[in-house]
Amino acid sequence: MSTLDFDIIIVGFGPVGGTLANLLAMNNLSVLILEKEAGLYNLPRAVHFDDEVMRVFQTIGITKSLVKKLIINKGTRFLDEKGKLILDWPRPKVITENGWYPSYRFHQPDLEKILRQKLKTYDKVITLQNSEVVKTINHKNFSAVEYKNLKTGNIFSVRSKYVIGCDGANSFIRDEMKTEMEHLGFEQRWAVIDLILKTKNINLPDRTIQYCNSKRPTTYCRNVGRRRRWEIALKENESTENFFKDKTLWNFLSQWISEEDAKIERRTVYTFQSAIAKKWKKGRLFLVGDAAHLTPPFMGQGMCAGIRDASNLAWKINISCKIGHNEKLLKSYQSERSSNVRDYINTAMKMGELLNSIGGSNVSDTVYLQKDGTIKMNSIKPKLGEGLGNSIDKNRGKIFPSFKFNFNKEFDDLFSCDPILITNKEIKNKKFKISTYNVSDIPEIEEILKSFNTNSLIIRPDRFVLGSTDKTDLRDFSQLCLKDIYNIG
């Protein structure tokens, strides 16, 4: 191992690669990021993320810069062809268990710049742009890539403990892993148009509107500052070139806005897809983000899912780098994440059917009829899939709430790199393999344990509960919970 160049090679420097690199760097790992493009991706993409993702951004220490670039998202309304509300998905302005508002709007290049800025503060992170990975080696004891410097054409070879493909929808690493995509159904071409308003006082909706229409499904997004977006389904065989002519576009947009009010910043076409890679790990190669799954963007969850992947994988990679390769721990990455992302994709696909007026408003089991006759939806919160911990433990896989203690210090900071045990009990013998806090260390723990209806909890670095117990022998409990993580017994 001493001859390896890096702990980790990340292929692809999109928002997911950038987040993962930060999570690994804060664990003091050496990271090489290889990106084939010279600069930032500049076509319209993600505009929304949620509280859980904001908490990951908090973990890597970028929220101070990020909040200046965000607005709080008010929610989404689905309207029928006559403009009648058929489904309301509000995002109330209330701080959630993750310590943030439920939903934010952002401009993707702003986030990517902030992620890159933060990475510059780590000595052991090297980023090479204009560098396309063209070959991988997946050896039992190490991994390696060959990359081409796209300016000079020269090929270089580097070795690491693991190679992580954050290389997007057309992932090269996925091809190298020889894994296929499982296609889940929804596939449709959409035009995406970003506009910048010329003046402030233009009367447009203050939230996302989904215009459900069998002929021309359309999404309107209220983005940050003066940015607004329209996403418009293209008809089969409709020519993009014709649709993108200024005259055709403005003619369509005239229902909401005119050329005097705004300028078109960017326009592009995407095929919205729904698919999950069959394998997310092969030996020492991994897939994260769009490389592992694709979702239509109607819930604004594609990138969010990728950030959740990064948060799940980073601490497992960290432990495997520090105390030795742990196959069982690393395998739990796909089983825990894939069922969670599948729930998001299925719900987004149902939203897509509703938008196309071929499906009903019952897009998830969080949809309910209100007394006033409107149909509302609460955000879905899929649990982690099976993996670490005991699946019959009622608290396993729940998110552990964020809270402040001791003059505003964040409790989250205690378990960003390793699991911790929190307990109501007086610990006499503190010789656990795990950092332990009890009520005499932090009084708030009592209330939190009450809300989980238990006496002791082990929390993972990604903020999920690993296990809970009312037993008195915490040594046995922690040993049992941690055996898959630290390869004990």
Site map 164..183 versus ligand FAD, x via CB under 6 A: --xxx---x-----------
Task: Name which position in 15, 99, 387, 389 contacts ligand FAD (CB under 6 A).
Answer: 15
Kindly state the tokens that stand for 102. Answer: 């439920």
Other Cβ atoms within 10 Å of 203 Cβ, number: 7
* Best CA proximity match to 78, nearest among 376, 366, 358: 376
Q: What is the bridge-based pairing of β-strands 125-128 and 31-34? A: parallel
Binds ligand FAD by CB under 6 A, chosen from 21, 233, 253, 304? 304
Nearer to ligand FAD, 296 or 389 (CB): 296
Give the per-residue SS3 of 337-354: HHHHHHHHHHHHHHHHHH
**Interface pick for ligand FAD out of 8, 10, 16, 114 (rule CB under 6 A):** 16
Smallest separation, CB 181 to ligand FAD (Å): 14
CA distances from residue 9 to 157, 175, 303 in whole angstroms, order as listed: 11, 17, 20
Closest to ligand FAD by CB, 119 or 133: 133
d(CA 298, CA 221): 11
Whose Cβ is closer to ligand FAD: residue 39's or residue 360's? 39
Judged by CB under 6 A, the residue of 102, 217, 297, 461 near ligand FAD is 297
Binding of residue 419 to ligand FAD (CB under 6 A): no
Q: How far is the CB of 294 from ligand FAD (least distance, A)?
A: 8
Tell the smallest beta-carbon distance from residue 453 to ligand FAD (Å): 33
**φ, ψ for residue 363 (rounded to 5)?**
-80, -15
| Smallest separation (angstroms) from ligand FAD to the CB of 207 | 13
> DSSP string spanning 188-235?
EEEEEEEEEESSS-----SSEEEE--SS--EEEEE-STTEEEEEEEPP
Distance CA 213, CA 354 (A): 8
Footprint of ligand FAD on 186-225 (CB under 6 A): 192
CB of residue 422 to ligand FAD, shortest distance in Å: 31
For position 21 contacting ligand FAD by CB under 6 A, the verdict is no
Specify the pairing of strand 281-282 against strand 285-287. antiparallel
Interface with ligand FAD includes 352 (CB under 6 A)? no
The window from 289-297, 330-338, 365-373, 401-409 that contacts ligand FAD (CB under 6 A) reads 289-297
Task: Candidates 31, 60, 133, 466: give the one binding ligand FAD (CB under 6 A).
Answer: 133
The two structure tokens encoding residue 32: 């090489």
* CA pair distance 281, 287, nearest whole angstrom: 6
Helix (H, G, I), strand (E, B) or coil at 87: strand
Read off the tokens for 259. Answer: 């050329």
Residue among 252, 270, 405, 432 that touches ligand FAD (CB under 6 A): 270
Of the candidates 25, 30, 48, 125, which one interacts with ligand FAD according to CB under 6 A?
48
How many residues bind to ligand FAD according to rule CB under 6 A? 35
* Contact (Cβ atoms closer than 8 angstroms) between residue 43 and residue 179: no
47 makes contact with ligand FAD (CB under 6 A): yes
- Nearer to ligand FAD by Cβ, of 41 and 452: the residue is 41
Q: Does 303 participate in binding ligand FAD (rule CB under 6 A)?
A: yes
Q: Which amino acid is at 449?
A: L
The CA distance from 139 to 339, in Å, is 29
Query: 302, 387, 419, 461: which one contacts ligand FAD (CB under 6 A)?
Result: 302
Q: Residue 230 interacts with ligand FAD (CB under 6 A)?
A: no
Q: Closest CB to ligand FAD among 238 and 413?
A: 238
Contact between 467 and ligand FAD by CB under 6 A: the answer reads no
User: Which residue type does 340 have?
Assistant: N
Least Å distance, CB 321 to ligand FAD, is 22
Q: Which is nearer to ligand FAD, 13 or 286 (CB)?
A: 13
Residue from 11, 349, 457, 485 touching ligand FAD (CB under 6 A): that is 11
| Pick from 412, 394, 418, 419: nearest CA to 469 | 394
Give which of 162, 160, 132 is closest to 147, Cα–Cα: 132
Containing H/E element for 175? helix 172-176
Residue 284 is a binding residue for ligand FAD (CB under 6 A): no
Q: Provide, rounded to whole angstroms, the least separation between the CB of residue 451 and ligand FAD.
A: 29
* Separation between Cα atoms, residue 218 and residue 207, nearest integer Å: 14
Label the pairing between strands 293-294 and 262-277. antiparallel
**What is the β-pairing status of strands 71-72 and 103-105?**
antiparallel
User: What distance in Å separates the CA atoms of residue 7 and residue 13, rounded to the nearest whole number?
Assistant: 17
178 vs 428, beta carbon nearer ligand FAD:
178
- Site for ligand FAD, rule CB under 6 A: 11-17, 34-37, 41, 44-49, 132-133, 166-168, 172, 192, 270, 289-290, 297, 300-304, 306
